[in-house]
Every structure is written in C-alpha cells, then in structure tokens.
Amino acid sequence: MGMLSKIATGILTLIVIASVFAPFLTEYNPVKIDLNSLKEPPNFRHLLGTDNKGRDILSRILYGGRFSIGIALIAGIFSLGIGLAVGLLSGYYGKKIDMALMMFVDLVLSFPSLLLAIGISVLFSTGIFTVIIAITAVSWASFARLIRGHVLSLKEQPFIDAARAIGCSDMRIILAHILPNCLPLSFVVLGLKLGGYILTESALSFLGLGVQPPMPTWGSMISLNRVYISSAPWMVVFPGLAIMIAVICFNIIGDALKDRDYITK
C-alpha cells in the first residue's frame, strides 16, 4: 500500500492547496450570479460547467473545499482536544471520576451519530460554528474512550512510578509524561476519522443544516442542484466526486498510518 498512500497524500495536498489558493486559480466568483452562462455543460471556459445560476462549478468546488475540509479539520481538532482531556482525566484518576465520565461517553456513543448531529444543528442557528459544534459533539466521545484505554495501560508502566517517586505532581505526570505518549495514537486516529467528518459535514449541508447558501459547500451543492440531475448531471456529479476523492484520500492515508505503526502494536 506504500505507493497508494503516497498517491493519496499527493492528491490530498493538491486539493488542499487548490482550495486555499482558490482565488488565484479561478477567475470566477463562486457566489456571483451570471445570467449569460446558465447551466453550461463542461467546456473550455467553465471546465466543469456552470450551475442554474451561471456560477462556475469548478470555482464553487474549490471554495467549497475550504469549508468542507476546514470544518472537518477544526471539528477533528476540537474533538481530539476534548477527547484527550476527558480520556486523560478518566484514565488517570480512575474510580468515580472514571465511572461518571465514561457513563457520559457511553451515553453520547449510544445515539445514532448523524441523528444526534442533526438534533444539535437544529438547536442553534445554522452556520459554520453550528456545524463544527455538531460534529464535535458526536465525535469527541470515541476519542475519549480510546485515550482512556491507552492511559490505563500507560499508567502501569515503570516510568510513571519513577516520575511519581521523584515527586512529580499529578498535573505534571499527566501533561509531561502521559500526554506525549498519547499523541501519536491520537493523530493516527484523527487521520482515520477526518474522512468521516467530511462525510458528516456534507450530509449536514445536504440536509440544509450546514453552511448556508449562497456560500458553497460540497454537500449543499449536491442538495441544491439535485433537482437538475436529469437536465444537467454535471452539477451534481462533480461535487460528489470531490467529496469522494477527498474522503478516499483521507481514509487511505489513515489506513497507511495505522498499519505503519501504532494501533497494531
């Protein structure tokens, strides 16, 4: 799989760079309506065609990538942060703290995650932050559970006893000794999950609960354009391909990281 994961990394880097530098790569404004070029099939001026309001699909996909990948990344980092905090506390202190925290984690995990995310997005007004909150709320728990397990096994190792023997405080043991040992595992798992977050984000925007139009995201492009699927299939096909390629790349990279070192040990 070595070759495959290299290709995936390359493609993903390309997608990210293209999204970040979207304004320099495309001359079209992703939200500006152009009545002179409605529903054009892919051609040389509009490589991936235009939508029902004459907006260039390629430019919308590039700008949409900023939201889709950005939201997934931020939500992933938030989830990881919360998961680390809960997992470290729970695993290190054990007993009642552990029981209380893990009960809460189990509670969150027992909900069907997409439905919980939908429920949370409905509570707040729609927007970028709501999507981030929704994805974080459904995904921190699995991090917490995993890190707790890892802390439990780390805690028994001699170097922690040594640290305690030379008089380190609990705080110092957690932050300076246990946390760094949790990080490699955390980042591998984060890599495995980012693809899923992109899917959740696009599912939420598909249902109209994500970033609101006219701002483009991959999910909302599919959702808004799906009524035109018979007359202008390119309007739906390309955003979906974008999601698929990005998520496949994330998953391949995540798998490669996992095989390479951590989890199997």
Partner 1 sequence: MLKGELGRSYYTQRDVAQDIMEKFPNTIRLAFGAMIIAVPFGIMLGFISVTNKGKFFDRLASIIAVGGISLPVFWIGLILMYFFALELKWLPPSGTGDIRFIILPAVTLSLPALASIARVARTTMLDIAEQPFIRTARAKGLNEWNILLKHVLKNALIPLITVIGLDFGSYLNGAVLTETIFGWDGIGRFMMEGIIKRDYPVVMGCLLTGTSAFVLINVVVDVLYHYFDPRVRINGNAK
Q: Tell me which residues touch partner 1 (CB under 8 A).
A: 1, 4, 110, 112, 114-115, 118-119, 122, 195, 199, 202-203, 206-207, 219, 222-223, 226, 229-230, 233, 236-237, 239-240, 243-244, 247-248, 250-252, 255
Give the phi and the psi of residue 111 in degrees, each rounded to 5. Answer: -80, 145
CA distances in angstroms from 72 to 61, 86, 105, 145, 200, listed in the order given? 16, 21, 21, 20, 9
Q: Which residues of 7-38 are buried (b: 16+ CB within 10 A; e: fewer)?
A: ebeebbeebbebbeebeeebebebeeebeebe
Among 47, 70, 30, 40, smallest CA distance to 216 is for 30
Q: Which residue, 132 or 222, has its beta carbon nearer to partner 1?
A: 222
CB 36 within 8 A of CB 153: no
Closest residue by Cα to residue 191 from 128, 134, 256:
256
* Both tokens assigned to 177: 């000794």
| 36 and 54 Cβ atoms separated by less than 8 Å | yes
Preceding amide of 214 cis, omega within 30 = yes
| Residues 61/238, Cβ–Cβ less than 8 Å | yes
Smallest separation (angstroms) from partner 1 to the CB of 229:
5
Q: How far is the CB of 114 from partner 1 (least distance, A)?
A: 6
Nearest to 90 by CA among 33, 147, 173: 147
183 or 227: CB nearest partner 1: 227
Report, in Å, the least distance between residue 241 CB and partner 1.
8
